[in-house]
Amino acid sequence: MELTAARTPRSVVVFDYGFGNVRSAERALARAGAQVEITRDFDRAMNADGLLVPGVGAFAACMNGLKRARGDWIIGRRLAGGRPVMGICVGMQILFARGIEHGVETEGLDEWPGSVAPLQADIVPHMGWNTVRPPEGSQLFAGLDTDARFYFVHSYAVHDWTLETVNPALRAPLVTWSTHGEPFVAAVENGALWATQFHPEKSGDAGAQLLTNWIGTL
C-alpha cells in the first residue's frame, strides 16, 4: 500500500493594521484549514504562504493605517514576487487607484485602475445577503452553486472594470459582479491578487468554501 504524506497546512497572515475584523477572519481561515496568525510583523507578513488584508471603515482611514504599518510596501513586494494576497471589503477597495468619499479623492494602491465611488441605490448601505455572477473558469467560486449568497456591508463600490490585458500570453483577470441598485465589482481574481467586496468570513458555508478555494491555491 502506498503511503501519502500529510500536507503541511498553508500559513496565512491576517494583516493587522487597525482596520478589519481580524478575529472573524482568523477563525474562518482556521476552519478552512490554514495555519493563521494575526500580525503586522514585516517578516512574517512577507514570508507567509498567503496574506489576507481585511478592511472596515473609510477608504482614506484604511489607506493611512495601511501605510503606517508599511502594508502598502508589503503588498507590493509580495505581488512583485508572485506571492498571494487577498483583500476583503475595504481591503479590496484600496487595491484600486483611488477612492472618492464625500467629494474627497484619496489615492489607493493602484494595483488595478478604477475608482471606488458611492453606490447609487434606494437603500444604502448595501447590508445583507446577495448573489454574485462569477465568470466561467473562476477558481475562487469553484464548487459553489450559482445561487450561493454572500454577506455585504458597504456604501461604496467599483462600478467599472477598465484593466485591459495586452499580452495574450497572460491570463485576463476574472471579474465577478453583483447588483445593488446598479452593477458593481464583487470579486476579482488576477494572478496572485484576489479580492472580494463581500465578507467571506461572515458568509456561512459559501464563504467557508470560498476561503478553502483560496487556501488551496497557495
Instruction: Give the residue numbers annotated as catalytic, written as ranges.
Output: 89, 199, 201
- What cell does 59 get? 477608504
In DSSP notation, 61-117 reads HHHHHHHHTTHHHHHHHHHHTT--EEEETHHHHTTEEEEEETTEEEE---SEEEEEE
CA distances from 106 to 25, 86, 110, 160 (A): 26, 21, 11, 18
